[in-house]
Structure 1
Amino acid sequence: MQIPARIGGRPVSADEWIEVLSPYDGAPVARVPALGADHVAEAVAAAEAALARGDFPRPRRAEVLERAAELLAERTEEFAVTIAREAGMPIRDARGETRRCVATIRFAAVEARKLAGEVVPLDGPLAFALRHPVGVVAAITPFPFPLSLVAHKLGPAIAAGCPVVLKPAEPTPVSAIRLVDLLVEAGLPADWISVVTGTGASAGFPLAAHPGLALITFTGSVEVGRHIEEAAPHKRVLLELGSNVPLIVEPDADLDRVIAATRQGGFSYAGQSCISPQRVLASHEIYDKLLYGLRAAVATLTVGDPLAEETDVGPLITAAAAARVESWLADARAAGAEVTGGKRRGSLLTPAVVADPPRHLDVYRREVLGPVITVTPYRDLDEAIALANDGGYGLQAGIFTSDLGAALRAARELTFGGVLINQAPAFRADRQQVNEMTELRFVMVSA
């Protein structure tokens, strides 16, 4: 099945095509065009023209988003199957992914209705500030969560009134294209969003470097994110980069709750999430008990076909990705760490628990993006916070404790953008992103 890209409201093909294959068994899912710099320039020009028309007012934007959420809710199963096939996400999780996308779009509709200026208190003249769209937005998305992460960029952009050029991840473009089609069906002006499919080199970097953009929003690796930042010195850049999420477990924590949260958060979508708990830091008082409980819980996870209802853990995005994680686990074993699980068959990898690995290992220090957690003991909260902060990443962290003082201290001292208390890190909201996609303009009225 050939699925065209979309530029300025029209379908676009190319001389070369990208094969989208199932990560589970390599079965063909679709073919999308391999676009390049000329297509990117055409897409940005179409977005600039749409912005210049100025015919998409805020109430209408909210209505479109609300209608899109309704349509998507009606088609949950259709989208879930697409996600399971192209991304390898287990079907039960793919339904949850679709429902999260519905919630994200609804949230964006609310923000579109709330988006307004503000009164500036001055003595004398009437003064206020109005919010205007910042301009054309480039949205570059990764393969993890190929529907909801696209919605986390498109929803705020539409709410803010910004036309978008979307570059979806090369392995998972189908659900993104179908979401854009659904938005147009819901009433979005057809030229408001262009979708340029292709590789990072052929389409992604030419898009990031295009001078017609006002803002780039990117989710992906640290290396690529920094490259984009360097290539766009005069643009507003929103980066959500990789992570190595620590989860501190204090001696007074509810261990059953910790185990359940880690089993779910650490291994859903085969751990391929930037906010999956990866480093479990356990008080030495409960380390042995927690390690035993985690191993037992993880052993109950079913690995296999993402379209099977019983599957908990599907494939990694490619066999090469699974082989990389397997090699990191082999390094951990060679260094003396005790590893349970981690057996590979093609792109499938059984969930692994690594007990107290040496701190220099990739499986401990880097973002694994696989079904792996490490469990490390610590003496006291001082050491736990130091270990958590010594990771080189800063998206989210978590702590489980019944001591409010310890929880608030962790919230103050953990150097992360988000700290979650008594739950595994997995939360996000988009209000600030909507504001980032606007600019304030000061107005003063004199009699």
Structure 2
Amino acid sequence: MNATPFWLAGRPATGDEELTVTHPYDGRVVGTAAVPTPEQVEEAVAAAHAVRREAAALPLHVRADALTHVSRRLAERSEEIARLITGENGKPLLWARGEVTRAVATFRFAAEEARRWSGTTQRLDTDPGAVGRMAYIARVPRGPVLGISPFNFPLNLAAHKIAPAIAVGTPIVLKPAPATPLSALLLGELLAETDLPEGMFSVLTVPNDRAGGLVEDPRLPIVSFTGSVPVGWSIRDQVPRKHVTLELGGNGAAVVLPDADLDWAASRIGLFSNYQAGQSCIAVQRVYVDRSVYETFLPKLVEAVNGLVTGDPWDDKTQVGPLVSQDAAERVESWVNEAVEAGAKVLTGGTRDGAAYAPTVLADVPADAKVRNQEVFGPVMLVEPVDGVDEAFDKVNASSFGLQAGVFTRDLDLAFRAHRELEVGGVVIGDVPSYRADQMPYGGVKESGVGREGLLYAMTDYTEEKIMVLTGLPL
């Protein structure tokens, strides 16, 4: 099997080593990826640094046309790419196809934002000493970006690093997750079809234990990381003078209040605790149900979970496939077993088959259990009754994480109260915390990270204000 080349300053290249990519469901080899040498990594970073001024001067239409091209090519090759995602990640085709659709939109949104990217003016003659003066304020790139993307959305989360960089005119070096590099390498292939200058992008399949040099390199003053909490904060501690954005983990909570549509809430929570095999930082992990409807809601939730189609990710009907590896499934199994030994009850699920873990609902989970306090990143949720809104919101906030929360209510006053009181980056009313539109600001507080993704918001994060003062104007 020929190794898929990585992308070095816009050119395909191979190194002295290869990564082997296996399918989580059955362990078969689905591809190999070339690994760059240290000298090739240096070449990529040097090229990004060298082209930074040319990149910043690219006309907006050149940036937008490149982004539009990638969006169009993703759409043209959508089924092929979805199967590539399923092959390397193990997520069912249902979700892989959805990921491609989102990536198409991500690049399209970036193209639209690039065409609108412009400076502003400010009159300064509000003070007598500044008569005839006006400021022109533009946002300019902070410098080349190091993007580090995870395995759970190998295409669209790589897109969320690359697309805003191109939109603002700054080079990017992308390091995809070693377990799932093939989708990002395909993005490199599509970018290479554009007229972007050499050095504008590199996609380097660098193993995690060799990434420290990229993080520390002063020629990459921005680090945009999506991944685990410990790794993310260690990066920020490692380079405190860089501009670091972190999209980290969560243990997403859903609140079900008495006025909710219980059937809708049960179906949405059941599905979105388990989509992507729970390997989403906004998957539902904690469910707090008002006691007045708890006994009615609970069987509906268990029924919704039991109705999910599990198994072969290549089957179009499958909703829940394997985790990314057997090690990941074994970790989830150990956390559930630990909670059960401490008194938790398994209402459904609780079994493992290789890399697959059955969708699981737990009740009576102890306060100190990992499945309550840490990010499970697997198809497991806990459910418990609460006495009113105050207790529900207190329990949502009693977490070191704060990414998103969902509140099932039709009460507009409660919706605004939730938005005001919940300590999260986003509140979704009438649905699960797992909802994300790719153009909206997305990110968390507390241990869930710092900074925001979403095209315009990432573009803002990648840039800073630069002012020009014009003097002697007849204002």
Question: TM-score with structure 1 length normalisation?
Answer: 0.97
1:366 equivalent in structure 2 = 374
Q: CA deviation at 1:85?
A: 0.4
Cα offset, 1:37, TM superposition? 4.4
The structural deviation recorded for 1:312 is: 0.9
One-letter amino acid of the structure 2 residue matched with residue 432 of structure 1:
Y
1:264 deviates by 2.5
- Identity of matched residues, %: 45
Aligned counterpart, 1:390: 398
Q: Distance in 2 between matches of 1:375 and 1:63?
A: 48
In 2, Cα distance between equivalents of 1:386 and 1:62 = 45
Q: Which 10-residue stretch deviates more, 420-429 or 240-249? A: 420-429
Shift of 1:36: 5.4
Deviations 1:237-286 (A, max 9, x none): 11001101111111111111111211222111101000111101111111
The 5 A counterparts of 1:248-287 are 248-287=255-294
SS of 2:416 mapped into structure 1: helix
For 1:47, the equivalent position in structure 2 comes to: 48
Provide the C-alpha distance between the structure 2 equivalents of 1:190 and 1:270, rounded to a whole number of angstroms: 39
Report whether the alignment pairs 1:245 with 2:252.
yes
> How high is the TM-score relative to the length of structure 2?
0.91
What is aligned with 1:11? Answer: 12
Task: Please state if 1:432 is matched with 2:457.
Answer: yes
- The separation in 2 between residues aligned to 1:173 and 1:159, in whole angstroms, is 23
CA distance in 2, matches of 1:188, 1:313: 39
- Aligned-residue CA RMSD in angstroms? 1.4
Cα drift, residue 5 of structure 1: 1.2
More deviation in 160-169 or 176-185? 176-185
* Residues 270 and 302, structure 2, Cα contact 8 Å, conserved in 1: no
Q: In the alignment, is the contact (CA less than 8 A) between 2:16 and 2:37 conserved in 1?
A: no
Greater shift in the superposed pair: 415-424 or 4-13: 4-13
Match of 2:226 in 1: 219
1:95 equivalent in alignment to 2:97: yes
Q: Using the alignment, how far apart are the partners of 2:427 and 2:40 within structure 1? A: 41
1:62 maps onto 2:70 in alignment? no
On the 8 A contact 1:83/1:146 being kept in 2, the answer is: yes
Shift of 1:12: 2.5
Determine if contact 1:6/1:195 at 8 Å carries over to the other structure. Answer: yes
Q: Quote the offset at 1:306 in angstroms.
A: 1.0
Q: Distance in 2 between matches of 1:201 and 1:39?
A: 16
Q: Secondary structure at the match of 2:46?
A: helix
2-side partners of 1:178 and 1:193: how far apart? 13
Q: Would the aligned equivalents of 2:11 and 2:192 in 1 still touch at CA under 8 Å?
A: no
Q: Indicate conservation of the 8 Å contact 2:271/2:305, yes or no.
A: no
Q: Report the Cα distance in structure 1 between the residues aligned to 2:268 and 2:413, rounded to whole angstroms.
A: 22
Q: CA deviation at 1:82?
A: 0.1
The residue correspondences of 1:33-432 to structure 2 (distance < 5 A) are 33-35=34-36, 37-54=38-55, 56-123=58-125, 124-202=132-210, 204-339=211-346, 340-425=348-433, 426-428=435-437, 429=440, 430=454, 431-432=456-457
- Separation in 2, partners of 1:290, 1:205: 48
Whichever residue aligns with residue 118 of structure 1, its letter is: T
Contact kept in structure 1, 2:343 and 2:364, CA below 8 Å? no
Figure out how many residues of one structure are paired with residues of the other and give that number: 446
Whole-angstrom distance in 1 between the partners of 2:396 and 2:216: 35
Q: Tell me how far apart the structure 2 counterparts of residues 9 and 179 of structure 1 sit (CA, whole Å).
A: 11
Q: Cα distance, 1:207 vs. partner?
A: 1.1
Amino acid at match of 1:427: R
Q: Which aligned runs of 4 or more in structure 1 are off by greater than 6 angstroms?
A: none
**In structure 1, C-alpha distance between the alignment counterparts of 2:50 and 2:75, rounded to whole Å:** 32
Moved more, 167-176 or 9-18: 9-18
Q: Unmatched 5+ residue regions in structure 2?
A: 126-131, 441-453
Which AA in structure 1 matches 2:150?
P
Q: SS of the residue aligned with 2:402?
A: coil
Per-residue deviation at 1:408?
1.2
CA separation in 2, counterparts of 1:333 and 1:38?
A: 51
**1:394-413 CA-partner distances (Å, limit 9, x unpaired):** 11111111222222111101
**Cα pair 1:291 1:355 within 8 Å, conserved:** no
**Residue 467 of structure 2 corresponds to which residue in structure 1?**
442
SS in 1 for 2:321: coil
CA drift at 1:356:
2.8
Q: What are the Cα deviations for residues 185-244 of structure 1, in whole angstroms up to 9, with x where unaligned?
A: 143334311111122111x22211111112110001110001110111111111001101
| Code of the aligned partner of 1:143 | F
Displacement of 1:323 in angstroms is: 0.6
Please say which of residues 280-289 and 424-433 is displaced more in the overlay: 424-433
Unaligned runs of 5+ in 1: none
Within 2, Cα distance between the matches of 1:208 and 1:272? Answer: 25
1:353–1:372 Cα contact (<8 Å) kept:
yes
Between the aligned partners of 1:440 and 1:108, the Cα distance in structure 2 is 20
CA shift at 1:67, angstroms?
1.7
Residues 293-325 of structure 1: CA distance to partner in whole angstroms, max 9, x if unpaired?
Answer: 111111111211111112111110000100110
